[in-house]
Every structure is written in structure tokens, then in C-alpha cells.
Structure 1
Amino acid sequence: MLPIWLAAMALGGCVGSGPDGAGPDTAGAGAAPLRGFGVDVDQAIAPRVPVVHLRTCGSWGCHEQDVTLVIAGPTSAVPCPSASAAADTACGVAHLPGPGPGFGYAPVPELTLEQVTVTVTTPAGAPLRVRADLAVRPFAVCPESASCPPSSAAVPQARLRITADGTVIQSR
């Protein structure tokens, strides 16, 4: 499941799912973050929000896209394949099927650290209707840390959260 791996890599995390979604996370530190939005959906409604449409507008214009949301089931530690590793050492994380929160990632190559207006909607006929317009202030992310001061190495990102009642908020 490439979207899981892409989301983890895009958010600059230390781990990412294998390309098929079932393998261990093997991405190392230093993964380059991408400009864009992480989208989280509360577990209570995640099965009813399989996709959202994002329209992001800033001083650079507007960017629109559909974002497929994946339900994140429980995880389990993957043992190391090496016999030299300690018995209690984990070398990765496997994503197991099951209920959990939803998540996705929306790359927005034009995104800057300036405030943008984001419209989040679900398609007609979706099991849960979501429609929200909000002002979002991206934050700076560096390849080696969660956030950093604005610089040439900083990449603008933001996180959106769809709560159990369908409200969309900026989260961090």
C-alpha cells in the first residue's frame, strides 16, 4: 500500500510502511519531508470517510486534489532478521488490519509558510458528509526534526483533523 509509505515519508517520520503495506517499516532517519497536509480522521468515523477533496488557496493560487484516507489498524513489532540482535529488539513495525483512525497525505508543492484557506469536502453520496472552510497556518518541518525555524531547509506542512462529529480543525 504505497499511500501509507508515502504518508510516512512525506511527514518526515523515522519509519515508513513497506511498499505493500504489510512489510516492516524500513525507512531511515533523514527522510525528506514534502510540502503539504497530513489528514487525520477520528477512529469513530474513519470507515465512513474513505476520501476527502482538498482545495488549498494561497497567494500562489489554488491547488485541488482528492485524498484517499487509509484506516490505520493496530501495529506490531517486527523482530530483527539478524541472529546478533538482542531478543527484545524490534527492527520495524507491521501494520495489522483492524479498526483505527484514518489518515492520508496531500502533497501541495506550492505551499509556503503563509496562511492558506483550505476547503475540505467529501464527495456526493459519501457515507458521512463533511464540508469545512478554514484558515490554516503551515509550520516549518526540517528533515531531521519535528519542526524548526523558517529557513531554506524548512518545508511547510500542516495537519488537519476530522473529528468524530465531522468538524475539521488544524492540529499539530
Structure 2
Amino acid sequence: MRMLTIAVAASMLLAGCAAANTPSEGQGGPAALRGFGVDVDAAVSARVPQVHLRTCGPWGCHEQDVPLQVAGPVSAGPCPSDAAPDTACGAVQLPGPGPAHGYAPVPSLTMDPVTVTVTTPPGAPLAIDAQLTVRPRPICPGAATGCAEPTPQAQIRIAADGSVSQAA
């Protein structure tokens, strides 16, 4: 009888833990981070290994270096020998030239417009020194839309000519 009581108590505890970690209705997926995505055109990505972002809004300023990772071409991954001929078994990132990407978390970011200064380090192969006004957009967790508390994010793009703009 004592073992049955312990087994029932353990299963209730485990069920409670599982319920506590279950996402709420409509809340699937990871939470979005406040901040900026940075995309660099493939034509200049090898010349822009990192950028420095200074973001200023009504909450003050936030500065950080953002390392950029070059993403080469994507190819279909190998499939098991018993897969159908038209089966897509995965994607593989290949080394080589391509666009660069980075992310700069800005914990204080709100939906208010901010001034962003983008620079490259001294001696960088491509000198960038640009300032622009950026309007963050509301992003919901996972693929949800219209959530109660969206997270502010923005996307910055560095074009092949070195110009900087807010991406759509």
C-alpha cells in the first residue's frame, strides 16, 4: 500500500510539472527577442566581418559589436537509401560566398522610433558610417500573429554599395 501511495504521488508530481511547462493556448514556439537583425548583401559580406550598433531611443542608448556570419549556398541534404526519389531530407549550409547575418539584442527596445548608428571597425575592408531612424515592428512568439504582447524587432540591411537601410 505504501508503494502505491508513493507511485501515485510521483505520477501526480510529474503530471503537474508537465502541465506547468505546457505552452498556453496560442503561445507555441520560442519568444522573440527585442533587437535588430542585420543582413549584409552577398556582394560585400566578406568585407564586413562585424558592425558596431549604437541604438538610441526614449529609454537611452545601447551600444554593441555585432559579429556577422557569412551564409554560403544551401543544398539538399543526403537521404536514406530507402527514401522516395522526390523526397526532401533536409538542407545543408555549404561553405562559400553568400550574404552575412547577425543579431543584436537590445533589451530596452520599445515600439518607439530609434536612431541607429551603424559603423565598421577601424581598418575594416569596407568602411560604413551611417545613421538612420528605425521604426521597430511588433513580432509575436513562434508564427503567431496579433498576440497580446508583441516584441519589438527591426531588420537592418547593408546593401552592395555599403548603404544602410531598414529592411521591410
Q: TM-score, normalised by structure 2?
A: 0.76
Cα displacement string for residues 98-117 of structure 1 (whole angstroms, at most 9, x for unaligned residues): 11111111111111111111
Structure 1 residues without counterparts, runs of 5 or longer: 1-28
Deviation at 1:76, TM superposition (A): 1.9
Deviation at 1:143, TM superposition (A): 1.6
Contact 1:80 1:91 in 2 (8 A): yes
Q: Give the superposition deviation at 1:145.
A: 2.6
Distance 1:40 1:48, change over 3 A: same
Please point out which of 108, 111, 126 is paired with 2:109: 111
| CA RMSD after TM alignment | 2.1
Task: Deviation per CA, 1:67-99: give whole Å up to 9, x if none.
Answer: 01111101123356696x655333532211011
In the alignment, the residues of structure 2 paired with residue 32 and residue 90 of structure 1 have an alpha-carbon distance, to the nearest angstrom, of 28
Which residue of structure 2 aligns with residue 77 of structure 1?
Answer: 76
For residues 86 and 109 of structure 1, do their structure 2 counterparts lie closer, same or farther at Cα, with a shift above 3 Å needed? farther
**Identity fraction in percent:** 65
1:121 aligns with 2:122: no
* CA 82–61 in structure 1, closer or farther in 2 if over 3 Å, else same: farther
Larger Cα-atom Rg: 2
Partner of 1:158: 154
User: Which runs of 5 or more structure 2 residues have no equivalent in the other structure?
Assistant: 1-27
**Is the 1:140–1:150 Cα contact (8 Å) retained in structure 2?**
no
For 1:15, the equivalent position in structure 2 comes to none
Conserved? CA contact 1:79–1:89, under 8 Å: no
Kept in 1: contact 2:32–2:142 (CA 8 A): no
Q: For 1:41-67, what per-residue CA distance to the aligned partner results, in whole angstroms no more than 9, with x for missing partners?
A: 111111000000000011111111000
The residue matched to 2:46 in structure 1 has which SS? helix
What is residue 40 of structure 1 aligned with on the other side? 39
TM-score of the two chains, using structure 1 as the length reference: 0.74
Structure number with the higher helix fraction is 2
- The 8 Å contact of residues 55 and 63 in structure 2, kept in 1 or not, is answered as yes
SS in structure 2 of the partner of residue 47 of structure 1: helix
Task: Find out whether 1:170 has 2:133 as its counterpart.
Answer: no
CA distance in 1, matches of 2:165, 2:96: 25
**Partners of 2:154 and 2:114 in 1: how far apart?**
10
